[in-house]
Structure 1
Amino acid sequence: MGVRQWIEGWPVYRQLTGSDPLGRGSAVTSARTRELEARTAKADSVVRSVCPYCAVGCGQKVYVRDGQVTQIEGDPDSPISRGRLCPKGSASKQLVTSHTRVTTVLYRRPRGRDWEHLPLDKAMDMVADRVIETRRRTWQQDFEGRRVRRTMGIASLGGATLDNEENYLMKKLYSAMGAIQIENQARI
């Protein structure tokens, strides 16, 4: 690289001799910078979502390419966060793409000593079977022996990190299962 070529490549020279005297645009943009493109430019689709970390419910845009999440950013159309995310929300891509993400369920059998890995589908079937059995065993009856469509064998204590919509859906789920002991940590 010659001296003249080096001087012309220097941002200050481009700023003083070009059309960008304040150095806010083309004068300070290198050839390498001009070659770069945003990680979101080649996304196949953009899915709107909500940040999973706290009860604020900040809007997110999830960029997907070839079935893989490539970027997660704040959603500027969200009335809650207006495109901003906290550091945890900004790093939420790691929840779905990290190589350390847990994809199985740890289960310890009754009176067992060791944990075993179960596929999520099998664990969900086990939970469903137990809910059905608990309802069957603890379904209440009135004084005349008629079913009253409720059970005291199932209860729910929701966490304060759930947003209003999640708590609403949890209330509907547990009410549909016949539970009447439904509470939330935020109320306690």
Structure 2
Amino acid sequence: MGRFSFLEWPVVRQLRTSDTTARSSATVSEHTRQITSRNATADHVVSSVCPYCAVGCGQKVYVKDNKVIQIEGDPDSPISRGRLCPKGAASEQLVNAPGRQYHVLYRAPKAKDWQRLELSKAMDMVADRFIETRRRTWQDADDQGRKLNRTMGIASLGGATLDNEENYLIKKLFTAAGAIQIENQARI
């Protein structure tokens, strides 16, 4: 920082310039003039959608050196018009949090510790349990012989962070599997 000068006081600058209302250049210090947005150094910008709720606010994700450095509302989004709620505005922390897990973790029944699994093994475990539960709890007909073709052993609670298309496909999948207990968090 340079040597202090009384001529650089905002009031003196206001009187020396035509900025009599102090709403323009008279109130801007040299330090403020040198400040740039952290977005100005981004390598590229990616358009995205906020992951937190079913509203689908548009986001601009600023990336530098393959790392997210800032997330802001997308002014071109017809849904949010550049605005984000506090959670959406803080979604950069979701991406860059030091405690973020990058691996599938599994804790066996009654086990104390989590163990790391490969994604393919975890998906196979879920599929096997889904199929076994459907087979074990399948109901062809009720006591009076009326057709049911359902399972009460499987239920689905969709998340509001999924978009409409994903929730639609999940609903179709669970209905095709015979589940009738299908709900979505956005409705609850």
Normalised TM-score (structure 1): 0.74
Report what 1:107 is aligned to: 106
Matched-pair identity in %: 61
Name the SS for the 2:171 alignment partner. helix
Q: Specify every segment of 5 or more residues in structure 1 that has no aligned partner in the other structure, as ranges.
A: 143-149
Q: How many residues align?
A: 177
Query: Does the Cα contact within 8 Å between 2:106 and 2:117 map onto a contact in 1?
Result: no
Distance 1:71 1:65 in 2: 9
Per-residue displacement from partner, 1:108-128 (whole Å, max 9, x unpaired)?
Answer: 224x32132314624334334
**Cα RMSD for the two superposed structures:** 3.2
- Determine whether 1:72 maps to 2:84: no
Report what 1:146 is aligned to: none
Name the SS for the 1:113 alignment partner. coil
Report what 1:50 is aligned to: 49
Cα 1:66–1:16 change in 2 (3 A) is same
Name the SS for the 2:15 alignment partner. helix
Name the SS for the 1:114 alignment partner. coil
Shift of 1:52: 1.5
Cα 1:82–1:120 change in 2 (3 A) is farther
Report what 2:145 is aligned to: none
Shift of 1:81: 1.0
Shift of 1:160: 5.0
Per-residue displacement from partner, 1:14-61 (whole Å, max 9, x unpaired)?
Answer: 111124322223211112112211111121221111112222221111
Q: Specify every segment of 5 or more residues in structure 2 that has no aligned partner in the other structure, as ranges.
A: 141-148
Deviates most, 9-18 or 100-109: 100-109
Report what 1:169 is aligned to: 169
Query: Does the Cα contact within 8 Å between 2:47 and 2:60 map onto a contact in 1?
Result: yes
Cα 1:7–1:187 change in 2 (3 A) is closer
Distance 2:118 2:167 in 1: 23
Normalised TM-score (structure 2): 0.74
Report what 1:117 is aligned to: 115
Please give the residue correspondences for 1:142-181 in structure 2 after superposition, counting only pairs within 5 Å. Answer: 152=151, 154-159=154-159, 162-174=162-174, 178-181=177-180
